[in-house]
């Protein structure tokens, strides 16, 4: 595997995606000029030519894989080690992270979920399914949750939540759009603060 992140005194981040990658694209833009935080690797389980181009321009390793289970994890570990990754961000990543991978990155894997966990989380609850369930339950609020990843889907310690009120005539489309706006606005900031805080604690 080619090396992309040669910098040693930076915090190197990998992003795992399975979908459109709009959150990943947003994070690449946000951290583009950061001296401290380097997005070094995008690991995609679905083809994404737009993101692949953006990675080429930004000197970020883009890896697409159709593998599953242990074979997929072996590639992920090799690429993370080759790029001196210290944080793994899941942005629309649909596969479960194994205990052995979590053990390599204790309290260093962060996920974003498009509901106010613990509500509307767990296996199968992703993307539009979440918003459909929120509307069906006639919730008055929804929002996003940024949390640490553990062996169970969407159960890790919550880092931050941002909520919004549902309109009376809220539709799947309007809710998805409003949630997406929250994600794009807050995920980069929360990530930067979380990673910065944990690294400064280390120094102290």
Site residues (CB under 6 A) for ligand GRF? 17, 19-24, 91-92, 112-114, 126-127, 183
CB-closest chain residue to ligand GRF: 92
Active site residue 63: no
Q: Using the minimum distance from each CB to ligand GRF, give the nearer residue, 82 or 159.
A: 159
**Min dist. Cβ of residue 153 to ligand GRF (A):** 11
User: Which residues, 6 or more positions from 150, have their beta carbon under 8 angstroms from its beta carbon?
Assistant: 102, 156
Q: Closest separation between CB of residue 92 and ligand GRF, Å?
A: 2
Q: How far is the CB of 128 from ligand GRF (least distance, A)?
A: 9
Query: Which residue, 7 or 185, is less far from ligand GRF as judged by CB?
Result: 185
Please tell me which residue in 63, 113, 131, 147 is annotated as part of the active site: 113
Residue written as tokens 């190197």? 12
What radius of gyration, in Å, describes the C-alpha atoms of the chain? 17
Which of 85/125 has CB closer to ligand GRF? 125
Residues labelled catalytic: 113
């Amino acid at each position: 595997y080619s090396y992309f992140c040669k910098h040693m005194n930076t915090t190197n981040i990998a992003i795992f995606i399975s979908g459109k990658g709009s959150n990943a694209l947003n994070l690449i833009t946000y951290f583009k000029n950061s001296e401290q935080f380097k997005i070094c690797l995008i690991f995609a389980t679905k083809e994404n030519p737009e993101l692949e181009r953006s990675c080429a321009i930004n000197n970020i390793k883009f890896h697409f894989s159709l593998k599953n289970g242990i074979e997929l994890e072996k590639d992920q570990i090799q690429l993370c080690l080759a790029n001196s990754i210290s944080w793994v961000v899941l942005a629309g990543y649909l596969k479960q992270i194994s205990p052995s991978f979590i053990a390599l990155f204790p309290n260093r894997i962060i996920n974003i979920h498009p509901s106010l966990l613990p509500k509307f989380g767990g296996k199968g609850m992703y993307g539009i399914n979440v918003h459909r369930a929120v509307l069906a339950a006639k919730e008055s609020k929804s929002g996003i949750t940024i949390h640490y990843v553990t062996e169970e889907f969407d159960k890790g310690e919550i880092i931050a939540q941002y909520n919004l009120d549902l309109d009376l005539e809220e539709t799947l489309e309007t809710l998805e759009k409003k949630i997406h706006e929250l994600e794009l606005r807050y995920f980069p900031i929360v990530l930067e603060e979380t990673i910065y805080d944990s690294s400064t604690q280390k120094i102290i």
